[in-house]
Homo-oligomer: A and B are copies of this chain.
Amino acid sequence: MVNGRTAACLAVGSELLGESRLDSNSLAITRALGRHGFQVVEKRVVGDDEPAVAAAITDLMGRVDVLIVTGGLGPTADDITREAIARALGRGLDIDPQVEGWIHAAYEARGRTMPEVSRRMARVVQGARILANHKGVAPGLLISVSERLLVALPGVPFEMEDMLEREVEPELARRGGGARRLTRTLLLGGVYESMVEERVCGLYGRFGRDNVTILASSGVVRLVLASGGEPTSAERRLDEMEKAFREVLGSDLAGVDVVSLEQAVLADLEDAGMTLAVAESCTGGLLSARLTDVPGASAVFRGGVVSYSNQAKEDLVGVPHDVL
């Protein structure tokens, strides 16, 4: 189904399998991968369980070009990502004196002595490139396995993002060979997903099924058009796709690359030099809230009333008593 270079994200941490936290690192990683033409085909979250993490690494490294693992690089006994990588690749783990020096220095800079457990963070998988942590202590690892790439980054988001940008993106750019995947999003109002599918399915053959994604959410349907390859030709291809899709969608198309229906409506009203006020009942202020959420809404939106009780409908909106 996927042509081109593939990638996967593996988040390690039992806390990410609980009732309240999600792995959100994968979003920044997906963006960085996408910029260099790598498409994420799978995401996983596994707990702090060395054999389970090793099995996931083995499985994913057999299927994707780039695997990015986050978390489990800290000093405590449940930080087992280094050991899991060594086990999955059948390689040894050695204490690296340079890394040990960094860790000592990081503790000293905070006026503290390195606890013995923190020495674990200096264990490096044989053959790995060490990625310095400019925002914290635990270093990352970058390992070439045949033509494939395995990267381990810290789980703390700002440490992860810094290391991703400094150390991983240049490597992705080299391996991606300048490829890019661009997208354009068409927003549709007042339609159902199945209606959109029926109208656009005739275009799948021409542009490729994998380059069209239909997403339905609270009152709108989004059509995401994608095109890969060299940037100029990808952009040209998107223009061509947009033109063809506009023809079958007609006036149900509310906007292109707009965030929301309300943004599209406000932009149209502003273009027409009009202003807007609203009176709401059951929606209880939600319409006003969504309109004012659009940056620059004040150029068009004047205000509204929420006439929730019948008395308020009479007093604020002037609805005649016998209509209610």
Contact = CB atoms under 8 A, between A and B. Distances in A.
Given A22-B27, A75-B193, A292-B284, A17 B34 contact: no
Interface stretch (A122-130, A145-153, A266-274, A300-308): A300-308
Contacts of A74: 193-194
Given A74-B193, A77-B197, A284-B292, A34 B19 contact: yes
Interface in A1-23: 1-2, 14-20, 22-23
A214 B311 CA distance: 42
Contacts of A287: 285
A293 interface: yes
The A interface is mostly helix, strand or loop, or mixed, namely mixed
Interface stretch (A36-44, A161-169, A170-178, A246-254): A36-44
Q: How many copies does the complex hold?
A: 2
A49 interface: yes
A59 interface: yes
Interface of A: 1-2, 14-20, 22-24, 26-27, 30-31, 34, 39-49, 51-52, 56, 59, 74-78, 115, 117-118, 193-195, 197-198, 201, 204, 209, 213-215, 224, 277-278, 280, 282-293, 297-298, 301-309, 311-312, 316
9 contacts: A19-B213, A41-B47, A74-B193, A117-B194, A284-B293, A288-B289, A302-B309, A304-B305, A306-B306
